[in-house]
Amino acid sequence: MRPMTKKNKIAAAAASIALVAVGGGAAYAYWSTTGGGNGSAVASSGTSPVTINVTVAPGVAPGTPKNITYTAANPNASNTQVTLATPVVTTDVEGCLPAWFTATAPTGATNVPAGATATALGTGTLTLTDSATVNQDACKGATITVTVGSN
């Protein structure tokens, strides 16, 4: 082993001090580190309504069920679940009573994709109840409207 010169002793001491300073600085930084933070996002202000389209097969007559086809258009940027409510029947003729009609809609939720223009929701039926005791001639040529919303 070579004897250490004064110059080597000073270099070794300086290197030791630097090593302790760096190591001590890292330990100090580790033990004194604190942190925090937060983030935020703005929620959507809402969505535009989904449009539900109802198409009834023509030729409504007493006792003859007609198919109703339900579709939906979703103008939003996200998918929307649609569950149809109970349909409501109205007519444009005073003597053609809505109570004579029964309309059904499919049950259960359907996913309507973002931007969809005609997603099938399912089918139902429209029936003019055939009465043996009531003259239903007022419904001849009447416009029967089926309206449905969603839950």
* 1 and 56 co-located in one domain: no
pLDDT at 36: 66
pLDDT tens for residues 22-38? 555 554 445 555 666 66
- Examine residue 43 and state whether it is found in any structural domain, yes or no: no
- A 10 A CB-CB count for 96 gives 20
Same domain, 69 and 131: yes
138 in the same domain as 74: yes
Q: Are residues 128 and 78 in the same domain?
A: yes
- Write the secondary structure of 68-121 as one string of H (helix), E (strand) and C (coil): EEEEEECCCCCCEEEEECCCEEEECCCCCCHHHEEECCCCCEEEECCCCCCEEE
pLDDT of residue 43: 64
Tell me how many domains the chain contains.
2
* 121-145 pLDDT, tens digit each: 999 999 999 999 999 999 999 999 9
The three-class DSSP label of residue 63 is coil
Residues 130 and 95 in one domain: yes
Please check whether residue 39 lies inside any domain of the structure.
no
Q: Amino acid letter at 38?
A: N
Same domain? For 132 and 98 the reply is yes
Q: Is residue 38 part of a domain?
A: no
* pLDDT on residue 114: 95
**Which residue ranges in the chain fall short of pLDDT 50?**
19, 27-29
pLDDT score of 112: 96
Query: Do 64 and 122 share a domain, yes or no?
Result: yes
Show the domain range for 115: 51-147
Let me know if residue 107 belongs to a domain: yes
